[in-house]
Amino acid sequence: MKFGIVVFPGSNCDRDVQTAARAAGYEADFIWHTDTSVDGFDCLVLPGGFSYGDYLRTAAIARFSPVMESVARYAASGRTVIGICNGFQVLLESGLLPGAMLRNTSCKFVCRPQRIRVESTLTPFTSKFRRGQVITLPIAHGDGNYHAGDETLLQMEMDGQVVFRYCDESGEPTPESNPNGSLNNIAGICNKAGNVLGMMPHPERAAERILGGAEGRLLFDSVAQWVQGGGRIA
């Protein structure tokens, strides 16, 4: 099992992802944003950070990096792609996921542990979790306020594309537990096919007990199980 981590100018969580993947027993190497080949990898990860300094708006420039055409083809072939924080924003800007990100309603950068609820275990990224499981992952963003049109949002909910939702300790997605104003307390979504995941929380920062929690490792293990089982979405 080998993860390919796309590195843009301004990425700062690439080594975190590599360390988490390797700690879980998997290979992980970097892919520079000007590379056009993503061959040899079982899953691509677009990590967090501030790609191109987040000029214009978050991820608006990164979407034009040469590697993104290869990422789009990779996703279209049914293989798995994960976007974390800024990586999620890149996937939105690239059209690989629906919706857009706005500034946090507080207009402040939010950095803290955050409870989220697992909404679906029917994706390649969540098979090791339990549906309804409440986990705690770190968040660190200023533009995590997920929005989509009413029809898009309704269709996503109906199709089971909401993968993670911000919640309180009892698992309720309350306004108070929403750190950024995201519609429907959305913390992570997938595409309709289910092989592309975007999430604002950082699983790589909670993948070893020494970091205070290892629940994030379940995401890496879920992908590995799916890939090693021959998984590819047609």
Torsions phi, psi for 110 (to 5 deg): -110, 125
Type of residue found at 141? H
Give the integer Cα–Cα distance in Å for 59 and 52: 8
Would you name the residues annotated as active-site residues?
85, 202, 204
CB neighbours of 32 closer than 8 A, spacing ≥ 6? 7, 67
Pick from 92, 86, 30: which is nearest to 54 by CA?
86
Pick from 196, 206, 34, 27: which is nearest to 116 by CA?
206
